[in-house]
Amino acid sequence: MVANIRPYLKKIWVADRKGGASNDVVVVRPKSGVNSSFFASLLKSDAFIDYVMKGAKGVKMPRGDISLMKEYILAVPNTEEQQKIANFFSSLDALIAAQANKIDALKTHKKGLMQQLFPKEGETVPRLRFPEFRELGSWQYKNAGLLFSNRTEKGEDDLPLYSVTINDGVTKRDSLERKIDNISQASGNKKALRYDLIYNMMRMWQGASGVASEDCMVSPAYVVLKPKLNVCPSFFGYLFKTHDFLNTLTAHSQGLTKDRLRLYFKDFAQISLPIPHIDEQRMIANCLSSLDALIAINSDKLDALKSHNEGLMQQLFPRREAMDV
């Protein structure tokens, strides 16, 4: 079964049960002498996908031309070799799926840990606390304006330009896959120093915030928070991503509809923030950043497995132009 909308996503599945499919799914039934799993791997190859995309119709949601697909010339080895190739890719797919599940489990663990390491709304002590801090009692609550000041210095030409995203936090603009036009004048941007906490005024309620890893400049649509004494910015970076606190940020944002919500510094400064001893802040931040590092390492492994899979497909399945037809 081949998903015919946006073929480049390579959504191909070998059915293991009877059922129906929508009109946007191409149902292919291999004839005698063709292994279904081998055939599915072949249809995932760049050679086939590139061929389909050349004849695809539509821009946002391109659809493959079924009549053109039928004309694609396949290189099919004997059944024994088909089975070996199918088994190999099946094992590799299982390895990729296991690695993806491991990452999902780590992310779920981190999410649950964050819910326990920070007090719930209306509470002054978290559900889970490191032993060395259990005798310190309740966390204090202070207005954000007492913990952060609003940095409004202008950008400088020699500083790298960063963006703030919901998923990746503070990220270099040239590392983003999507194209973003740079603002030509550095003075049109804001300066941020390493360890400043930066948030997107229009997306803070969705978690678009993060800590600067180096001195940089950012869009004037962002708010740059300069941490004051005994404030660990990474601790608050994680706090601002928790479900309960996102609701608080939403409540303090201004706008008639959600897509127009903005959190200005003056409103942010009035939010009451939980703050434990600086050592406990750092301990929590280090714990969660260690999990982030573990997730990043495993994500790199997953990317490497996928790249290995793609490379093998290119080598095991010849391109159409390389075949004698």
**Domain spans, the chain:** 2-96+315-322, 140-274
Would you call 56 helix, strand, or coil by DSSP? coil
- Fold for domain 140-274? Adenine-n6-DNA-methyltransferase TaqI; Chain A, domain 2 (3.90.220)
Tell me the one-letter amino acid at 262.
R
Tell me the C-alpha distance between 214 and 289, whole Å. Answer: 17
Tell me the C-alpha distance between 40 and 44, whole Å. Answer: 6
To 5 degrees, how large is the angle CA 234–CA 240–CA 246?
Answer: 170
Ordered per-residue pLDDT tens for the chain, 325 residues:
888 888 888 888 787 788 888 888 888 888 888 888 888 888 888 888 888 888 888 888 888 888 888 888 877 888 898 899 889 989 999 999 999 999 999 999 999 999 999 999 889 999 999 999 999 999 999 999 999 999 999 999 899 999 999 999 999 987 554 444 455 466 789 999 999 999 999 999 999 999 999 999 999 999 999 999 999 999 999 999 999 999 999 999 999 888 889 999 999 999 999 999 999 999 999 999 999 999 999 999 999 999 998 888 888 776 655 555 4
Does the pTM of the predicted model rise above 0.95? no
Here the contacts of 141-144 (C-beta below 8 Å, separation 24 or greater) are 141/272, 141/273, 141/274, 141/275, 142/272, 142/273, 142/275, 143/269, 143/270, 143/271, 143/272, 143/273, 144/268, 144/269, 144/270, 144/271, 144/272, 144/273
Tell me the one-letter amino acid at 46.
D
pLDDT of residue 316: 79
Tell me the C-alpha distance between 45 and 305, whole Å. Answer: 15
> What are 29's two structure tokens?
């039934």
> What are 14's two structure tokens?
């070998």
The overall longest dimension of the chain from CA atoms, in Å, is 79
Count of other CB atoms within 10 angstroms of residue 124 = 13
Radius of gyration, alpha carbons of the chain: 26
DSSP 63: B
- The structure tokens 């049960």 sit at 17
CA distances from 283 to 38, 116, 188, 261, 310 (A): 51, 14, 37, 33, 41
pLDDT of residue 138: 96
pLDDT of residue 13: 79
Backbone angles phi, psi at 140, to 5 degrees: -80, 160
Tally of residues, the chain: 325
Positive or negative: CA dihedral 43, 46, 47, 52: positive
> What are 130's two structure tokens?
């490191």
pLDDT of residue 241: 95
Count of other CB atoms within 10 angstroms of residue 151 = 17
